[in-house]
Amino acid sequence: MFDPIQFKSNFPLFFQKENQSLVYLDNAATTQKPQCVIDAVTDFYITKNANANRASHRLARSATNLLEGVRQKSADFLGARYKDEIVFTAGATESLNFLAQGLSHQLNKGDEILLSVYEHHANLVPWQVIAKETGAKLVFISGDFESVGNQLTSKTRIVSCTAASNVFGKISDVDFFKNVKDKFPGVFFIIDASQVIGKIPVNVKDNFCDFLVCSPHKFYGPTGIGLLYGRKDCLSRLRVSKFGGEMIKNVDLLDSSYVEPPYSFEAGTSPLASIAGLGACIDFVERQYKKGMLEYEKKLINYVHEKLSVLVSDFPEVNLLTSPRNNIGIAAISSDKYSMADIGFWLDEQDVAVRVGDHCAQPLLKSLNLTAVLRVSVAPYNTFEDIDVLFSCLCDFFNSNSECLDVALATDKKVSNYKDELSAINYHDLLTIRSWGNRYKKILSLGKLVNKKPFLHNNESLVSGCEAKLWINTIVDKSQNGTVFTFVIDSDSMVVKGLAALILCRVNAKSATQIKSIDFDAYFSELGLEKYLSESRFSGMQALLKHIFLTIK
Ligand code: PLP
């Protein structure tokens, strides 16, 4: 039997004092690391640190042995026939960039690259760049993966698809690739397996792909290391796109020759400590009772869906976007009425970690008319109690923040008509509220004073450095008494609107000299923001201040 509590005991992060109430449900972004992986990374620096492939001394030899040992282990783990079919990269993103760059010389004008709308930006943007350079065309699988066979044409050169959506968790049936692959021998089949490795059994020997990429940090390994599997004959057709030391056979002043794959793709010093961690991570995964672990994860994701189904029936403004069937461990909700960013902030205040946003899959969200999705992603160290905590925090949010519904929809596109929007705010009111919880609610209600202004939603108005989206426009009034500034804002988060309103009620309709004389540090500490607000929300406020000071300079 798989024992989640025993499994969790491998992960020291959960047992640190500051994390004891943490409910970590952002596993599709990255998983926590078991002690054995942390030890392997540390041990490398303590006992083995040297550069590999420079075998003139003992430590260098042992670093080289480590590198090649983990390469073999990775090959066995993925089912590769030869260890030289494994390239160490920085992650799935770098692997996919290598593939797009490395296959570009195989493409001519009018050739087709077949992708799906489910792709992470990492498996879309590199192909867009290559398509523009070569005149190749991006074509998207319409419908499910079952139909992939009908969509390959004589022009298809590359098929590159995710094995599971990082937004909706839906697993693509790669067997369809296997059937089609034999019929199209000239086509390169690439699988982005970032969300499935370490969860469901994948064996490249089953011949469903020519290349496969993944990021070990998503299955308990360290960051900074990625795996690119390429079948031997395919890897040798991949052009090298990163150059430098370590991948060289001979260099003259005007030309160079390179060693064979995989080493030709590993320019520069390899991330050896991360590779040591990867070795320990593969051992760790292999030691687990995988069938039981998978069954447990299925039960967990079923339970998440059960709870979320209750939530959406109680709060019909919320939509459940996923189903537990054929799901890698992800549930997602959205709403037209509530700000997903606010729900994420609310959960964060209670130490429940989920991810909110576009999940690096903007085209997918746009195809569904969504701008943000709240994603819950489980791992086998999560418990049913974790899901209960999530559910209860979500219910609290919807019960106590129904005022978060966006009230006004501005139709007037003239920014100057919103000049007085915040003039009624008196920040002293906030100081009379004793408890931080009530102050937080008051901040949310201040957000309500800020009208929705869709016409501001463009890149020029966007303030960078904020967690949620914050758009700003400046009105400069010049008179014989001098120049005064008024800032008009909008955000996809009610909390951010409220916090921004607290800054703007101090600076609006003031001159540069007056604004510069305000002691914002004292102001923030008087409001208790620095003490109580989470770091990222606070740095969002600093980003707004920076923007204001740059504008009035
Ligand atoms: N592909 C998918 C499906 C992903 O989920 C991710 C990360 O979330 C990536 C690619 C990129 O992985 P990395 O950021 O580790 O390079």
91 lines ligand 1 (CB under 6 A): yes
Dump pLDDT digits (tens) for 246-282: 899 999 999 999 999 999 999 999 999 999 999 999 9
Please report the pLDDT score of residue 61 as a whole number: 92
DSSP 105: G
Phi first, then psi: what are they for 192, rounded to 5°?
A: -90, 100
Q: Is ligand 1 within 6 A of the CB of residue 163?
A: no
Ligand 1 pocket mutation, candidates 119, 195, 362, criterion most atoms within 8 A of CB: 195
Report the percent of the chain where pLDDT is more than 70.
97
* Gap from CA of 120 to ligand 1 centroid (Å): 7
Q: Which atom of ligand 1 lies at the shortest distance from residue 90's CA?
A: 16
Q: CA torsion sign, 296 to 301 to 306 to 308?
A: positive
194 lines ligand 1 (CB under 6 A): yes
- How much is the pTM? 0.89
Q: Which atom of ligand 1 is nearest to the CA of 122?
A: 10
Amino acid present at 236: S
Query: Which of 442 and 263 is assigned the larger pLDDT?
Result: 263
Separation CA 247–CA 240 (nearest Å):
10
Q: What number does the ligand 1 atom closest to the CA of 217 have?
A: 15
Does the beta carbon of 264 sit less than 6 angstroms from any atom of ligand 1? no
Per-residue pLDDT band for 405 (boundaries 50, 70, 90) equals low
Question: 288-296 — which CB contacts under 8 Å span 24+ positions?
Answer: 288/2, 288/7, 288/380, 289/1, 289/2, 290/201, 292/1, 292/2, 293/2, 293/7, 293/380, 294/199, 294/200, 295/2, 296/2, 296/4, 296/380
Query: Are the C-beta atoms of residues 342 and 404 closer than 8 Å to each other?
Result: yes
Higher per-residue pLDDT: 113 or 537: 113
Residue 542 has pLDDT above 80, yes or no: yes
At residue 337's C-alpha, the angle toward residues 334 and 338, to 5°, is 65
What is the pLDDT averaged over residues 10-20? Answer: 97
Give residue-wise pLDDT tens across range 46-61.
Answer: 999 999 976 689 999 9
DSSP at 47: I
Confidence tier at 143 by pLDDT (50, 70, 90): low
Candidate of 94, 96, 120 to mutate for ligand 1, largest count of ligand atoms within 8 Å of Cβ: 120
Burial 299-321 (b: 16+ CB within 10 A, else e): ebbebbbebbeebeeebeebebb
Q: Is the CB of 162 under 6 A from ligand 1?
A: yes
Find the catalytic residue in 36, 161, 281, 360: 360
Q: Which pLDDT score, from 0 to 100, does residue 441 have?
A: 80
Average of per-residue pLDDT across 352-359: 95
Is residue 92 in contact with ligand 1, taking CB distance under 6 Å?
A: yes
Most confident of 141-155, 242-256, 453-467: 242-256
Does the annotation mark 36 as catalytic? no
As a whole-number percent, the residues of the chain with pLDDT over 90 amount to 71
CA–centroid distance, residue 213 to ligand 1 (Å): 9
Radius of gyration for the chain, computed over Cα atoms and rounded to the nearest angstrom: 26
Instruction: Compute the distance between CA of residue 208 and CA of residue 179 in angstroms, rounded to an integer.
Output: 8
Indicate whether 187 pLDDT > 90. yes
Residue 537's pLDDT band (boundaries 50, 70, 90)? confident
Does any ligand 1 atom lie closer than 6 A to the CB of residue 166? Answer: yes
